[in-house]
Amino acid sequence: MKILIIGSGGREHALAWKIAQSSKTTQVYVAPGNGGTSNANNIKNIQIENIDELAKFAEENNIKMTIVGPEVPLAEGIVDKFMSKDLRIFGPTKSAARLESSKKFAKDFMSRHSIPTAKYATFTNIEEAISYLETEGAPIVIKADGLASGKGVVVAETLEEAKEAVIDMISKKNVNKLIIEEYLTGEEASFIVMSDGINIMPLATSQDHKRLKDGDQGPNTGGMGAYSPANIVTPDLHNRIMKEIIVPTIQGMAKDGIPYTGFLYAGVMISPGENPERPIKTLEFNCRMGDPETQPIMMRMKSDFVDVLEHALNGSLDKAEIIWDRRVALGVVLASYNYPESPRKNDIINGIPNDKEDCITFHAATKISSGKYKTDGGRVLCVTTLGDSVRIARETAYKVISNITFDGMQYRSDIGWRSLKSNSSNKSG
């Protein structure tokens, strides 16, 4: 069958790479794709981004299944458009995608359905927001209400920093509405599931690294690396996240008359300590797979992903099964000069290796120009490896990275550090 994937990042390259392996797949189209998807077997880029034109392409080319990668087309209603033409597409409707496209909608939804989350308040006025900050104090979290590509969050350590964030968002970045949340302590994990509206299929757990620099320093980014599985999510915590967060969300959406079909990503904050009953709270929802979490998750998936997606589209996810590689997968993002502020483009990339069974270099912001790979945005590549442990997978990834070069290349050297620290603590204890 012919399958269409919407998007251009590392997540979409990983999805295309995995879906192309299915015996059921005859051709994968990626719209608009990147340099990596333009140069892969059984995968072809199409330079279409307009929703109406994408639906027309799917009709005219007998596309049997469309998978939506990024959040913007979901928020713009691509699923509604495809469904109106009886085209099979996996993702939430525009109304359901508000779980990501509006943080106020998500927070109000969680409050209404007793899903654990941080205390919050919503503001459109600078003076009222600052008055609230003075009452609450710091540290505190400021979030833009709408989509911000993972960069619309400021974790303010001081009251002055919080006030500056409020003023910057409302007066300079034209944010119409912002959320101020209590600051939560603990460790964050990415919990991603698939839903057919009723049934739920959890994917492998993962943990990403949102800050630009080592030690979780620097500004928030879309994600600088990830690994799977996340050892912080024990079997007991896995069950609790399903019971306290995921199931109430899918059931709550159905109860509200907005059935949720698609990938659902919950960013979960796990409180510190060893108590199995320690609090867990929802930081945010994303209505798609995470990037860079998708890359390690796809590396570990041994099952035919097209089979699973067909079950999801047929409303029979309860009959699907996924087998996971027992090994750890770890991905390190290589970003361009001046990311995340104003990434530079058109730097020549050298040293990209050939893919191997235990190492795939997924492309994101790349293009081919004059026969050479060049940077084309912020997060350029994600070197993703498999290993018997986080340490082994990480060593392999950084060995590969040592041969890749482009001007201004930046990356973290500590991906997986929380897992290594946890393992060290467990051994010493």
Going from N- to C-terminal start, the domains of the chain cover 2-94, 119-182, 327-429
Q: Tell me, what's the pLDDT at 150?
A: 56
Half-sphere exposure of 158 (CA within 13 A, CB side): 3
Pairing outcome for strands 63-68 and 2-7:
parallel
User: From the DSSP assignment, how many helices (H) and strands (E) are in the chain?
Assistant: 14, 22
Q: pLDDT by residue (tens digit) across 239-258?
A: 999 999 999 999 999 999 99
CB 11 within 8 A of CB 291: yes
CB 325 within 8 A of CB 388: no
Region of residue 208 (phi > 0: left; psi between -120 and 50: alpha; otherwise: beta): beta
Q: Tell me, what's the pLDDT at 149?
A: 58
Query: What is the DSSP code (8-state) at residue 280?
Result: E
**How many angstroms separate the Cα of 95 from the Cα of each of 145, 285, 304, 309?**
16, 14, 30, 22
Whose structure tokens read 């995968």?
A: 43
- Return the CATH fold of 2-94: Rossmann fold (3.40.50)
Q: Tell me, what's the pLDDT at 429?
A: 30
Start-to-end CA span in the chain (Å): 53
**How many angstroms separate the Cα of 218 from the Cα of each of 40, 55, 364?**
35, 40, 22
- Return the CATH fold of 327-429: Glycinamide Ribonucleotide Synthetase; Chain A, domain 4 (3.90.600)
CB 101 within 8 A of CB 75: yes
Residues of the chain with pLDDT under 70: 148-151, 422-429
Q: pLDDT by residue (tens digit) across 249-287?
A: 999 999 999 999 999 999 999 998 777 788 999 999 999
Query: What is the DSSP code (8-state) at residue 21?
Result: T
Q: Tell me, what's the pLDDT at 151?
A: 56
Residue 418 tokens, joined = 């929380």
Q: Tell me, what's the pLDDT at 148?
A: 66
CATH class of 119-182: alpha beta
Q: Tell me, what's the pLDDT at 249?
A: 98
Q: Tell me, what's the pLDDT at 402?
A: 98
